[in-house]
Protein backbone atom coordinates (compact mmCIF):
# COMPACT_ATOMS: atom_id res chain seq x y z
CA UNK A 1 0.00 0.00 0.00
CA UNK A 2 1.12 3.63 -0.39
CA UNK A 3 1.72 6.40 2.10
CA UNK A 4 -2.03 7.04 2.25
CA UNK A 5 -3.26 6.97 5.82
CA UNK A 6 -6.33 4.74 5.96
CA UNK A 7 -7.84 4.76 9.44
CA UNK A 8 -11.00 3.33 10.90
CA UNK A 9 -13.79 5.91 10.96
CA UNK A 10 -14.79 7.40 14.27
CA UNK A 11 -17.99 9.10 13.22
CA UNK A 12 -21.00 9.44 15.47
CA UNK A 13 -23.01 6.27 14.88
CA UNK A 14 -26.03 7.28 16.91
CA UNK A 15 -29.46 6.92 15.25
CA UNK A 16 -29.63 10.70 14.91
CA UNK A 17 -26.46 10.76 12.80
CA UNK A 18 -28.16 8.92 9.92
CA UNK A 19 -25.24 6.47 9.76
CA UNK A 20 -26.58 2.92 9.60
CA UNK A 21 -23.50 1.05 8.40
CA UNK A 22 -22.94 -2.36 9.88
CA UNK A 23 -19.22 -2.64 9.17
CA UNK A 24 -16.01 -0.77 9.82
CA UNK A 25 -15.18 2.18 7.60
CA UNK A 26 -11.90 3.53 6.40
CA UNK A 27 -11.47 7.27 6.52
CA UNK A 28 -9.87 7.77 3.15
CA UNK A 29 -10.09 10.00 0.16
CA UNK A 30 -10.82 8.30 -3.13
CA UNK A 31 -12.06 9.80 -6.38
CA UNK A 32 -15.60 8.75 -7.34
CA UNK A 33 -17.10 9.40 -10.77
CA UNK A 34 -20.81 8.64 -11.13
CA UNK A 35 -22.81 8.60 -14.34
CA UNK A 36 -25.99 10.58 -13.69
CA UNK A 37 -27.30 10.44 -17.26
CA UNK A 38 -26.26 8.04 -20.03
CA UNK A 39 -25.77 8.88 -23.66
CA UNK A 40 -28.04 7.08 -26.08
CA UNK A 41 -26.77 3.74 -27.48
CA UNK A 42 -25.78 5.19 -30.87
CA UNK A 43 -23.33 7.52 -29.15
CA UNK A 44 -25.26 10.71 -29.74
CA UNK A 45 -26.24 12.87 -26.86
CA UNK A 46 -24.21 13.73 -23.83
CA UNK A 47 -23.67 11.65 -20.78
CA UNK A 48 -23.62 13.60 -17.53
CA UNK A 49 -21.23 12.66 -14.75
CA UNK A 50 -20.33 14.03 -11.37
CA UNK A 51 -16.90 13.70 -9.78
CA UNK A 52 -16.47 13.74 -6.02
CA UNK A 53 -14.16 12.62 -3.20
CA UNK A 54 -15.03 10.15 -0.46
CA UNK A 55 -14.94 11.02 3.21
CA UNK A 56 -15.08 7.36 4.22
CA UNK A 57 -15.62 3.99 2.60
CA UNK A 58 -16.14 0.33 3.32
CA UNK A 59 -16.58 -2.81 1.26
CA UNK A 60 -20.32 -2.13 1.02
CA UNK A 61 -20.66 1.65 1.14
CA UNK A 62 -19.24 5.09 0.50
CA UNK A 63 -19.92 8.48 2.04
CA UNK A 64 -19.05 11.50 -0.08
CA UNK A 65 -19.72 15.16 -0.65
CA UNK A 66 -21.25 16.40 -3.91
CA UNK A 67 -21.97 19.75 -5.46
CA UNK A 68 -25.57 18.78 -6.23
CA UNK A 69 -28.19 16.57 -4.60
CA UNK A 70 -28.64 13.00 -5.80
CA UNK A 71 -31.99 11.21 -5.92
CA UNK A 72 -32.47 8.72 -3.09
CA UNK A 73 -32.99 5.25 -4.52
CA UNK A 74 -31.17 6.00 -7.77
CA UNK A 75 -28.94 3.17 -9.01
CA UNK A 76 -25.90 4.54 -10.80
CA UNK A 77 -22.72 3.25 -12.41
CA UNK A 78 -19.66 4.53 -10.59
CA UNK A 79 -15.89 4.35 -10.95
CA UNK A 80 -13.86 4.55 -7.74
CA UNK A 81 -10.15 5.33 -7.98
CA UNK A 82 -7.81 4.43 -5.15
CA UNK A 83 -4.35 5.96 -5.38
CA UNK A 84 -2.50 2.67 -4.95
CA UNK A 85 -4.53 0.89 -7.68
CA UNK A 86 -3.90 1.89 -11.30
CA UNK A 87 -7.37 1.16 -12.72
CA UNK A 88 -10.61 2.50 -11.20
CA UNK A 89 -13.10 -0.02 -9.84
CA UNK A 90 -16.30 -0.08 -11.91
CA UNK A 91 -19.18 -0.51 -9.47
CA UNK A 92 -22.95 -0.11 -9.28
CA UNK A 93 -24.15 2.03 -6.38
CA UNK A 94 -27.49 2.96 -4.87
CA UNK A 95 -28.06 6.39 -3.34
CA UNK A 96 -29.27 5.51 0.17
CA UNK A 97 -29.46 9.02 1.58
CA UNK A 98 -28.71 12.62 0.59
CA UNK A 99 -28.79 15.66 2.85
CA UNK A 100 -27.47 19.22 2.83
CA UNK A 101 -23.91 19.58 4.10
CA UNK A 102 -22.84 22.20 6.58
CA UNK A 103 -22.08 25.27 4.52
CA UNK A 104 -22.58 24.22 0.92
CA UNK A 105 -23.05 21.09 -1.13
CA UNK A 106 -24.54 17.76 -0.17
CA UNK A 107 -23.52 14.69 1.81
CA UNK A 108 -24.44 11.42 0.11
CA UNK A 109 -24.47 7.82 1.33
CA UNK A 110 -23.99 5.14 -1.32
CA UNK A 111 -24.47 1.39 -1.00
CA UNK A 112 -22.25 -0.68 -3.28
CA UNK A 113 -24.32 -3.31 -5.06
CA UNK A 114 -23.08 -6.74 -6.02
CA UNK A 115 -23.58 -6.84 -9.76
CA UNK A 116 -22.39 -8.78 -12.79
CA UNK A 117 -19.88 -7.07 -15.08
CA UNK A 118 -18.50 -4.92 -12.28
CA UNK A 119 -15.34 -5.06 -10.17
CA UNK A 120 -17.29 -5.78 -6.99
CA UNK A 121 -15.13 -8.71 -5.84
CA UNK A 122 -11.91 -6.85 -6.61
CA UNK A 123 -13.25 -3.86 -4.64
CA UNK A 124 -14.07 -5.99 -1.60
CA UNK A 125 -10.57 -7.51 -1.72
CA UNK A 126 -8.89 -4.09 -2.02
CA UNK A 127 -10.81 -2.73 0.97
CA UNK A 128 -10.00 -5.86 2.99
CA UNK A 129 -6.28 -5.40 2.18
CA UNK A 130 -6.42 -1.74 3.23
CA UNK A 131 -8.08 -2.67 6.54
CA UNK A 132 -5.55 -5.44 7.21
CA UNK A 133 -2.65 -3.08 6.54
CA UNK A 134 -4.28 -0.15 8.39
Q: Which domains does the chain have, with CATH numbers?
A: 7-133 (2.40.10.220)
The contacts of residue 69 (CB under 8 Å, 6+ apart) are: 98, 106
Q: How far apart, in whole angstroms, are the C-alpha atoms of residue 28 and residue 122?
A: 18
| Strand stretches in 10-130, DSSP E | 26-27, 31-37, 48-57, 61-66, 75-81, 89-100, 106-113
Q: pLDDT tens track of the chain, all 134 residues?
A: 333 333 333 344 333 444 454 455 566 678 999 999 877 776 666 788 999 999 888 889 999 999 999 999 999 999 999 877 779 999 999 999 999 998 889 999 999 999 999 999 999 998 888 777 76
Q: What kind and span of H or E run contains 133?
A: helix 120-133
Residue 80 sits at φ, ψ, to 5 deg, of: -110, 125
Which pLDDT value is given to residue 16? 43
Cβ-Cβ contacts under 8 Å for 75 (sequence gap 6 or more)? 92, 93, 94, 95, 113
Model-wide pTM > 0.85: no
Give bridge partners of residue 70 from the DSSP assignment.
none
Name the nearest CA neighbour of 82 among 59, 49, 113.
59
Looking at residue 37, what is its pLDDT?
87
Amino acid sequence: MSDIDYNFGDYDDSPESGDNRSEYRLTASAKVTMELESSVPDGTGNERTIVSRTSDLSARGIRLATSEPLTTGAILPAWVSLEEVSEPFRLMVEVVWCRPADGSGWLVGLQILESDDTAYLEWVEAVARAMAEG
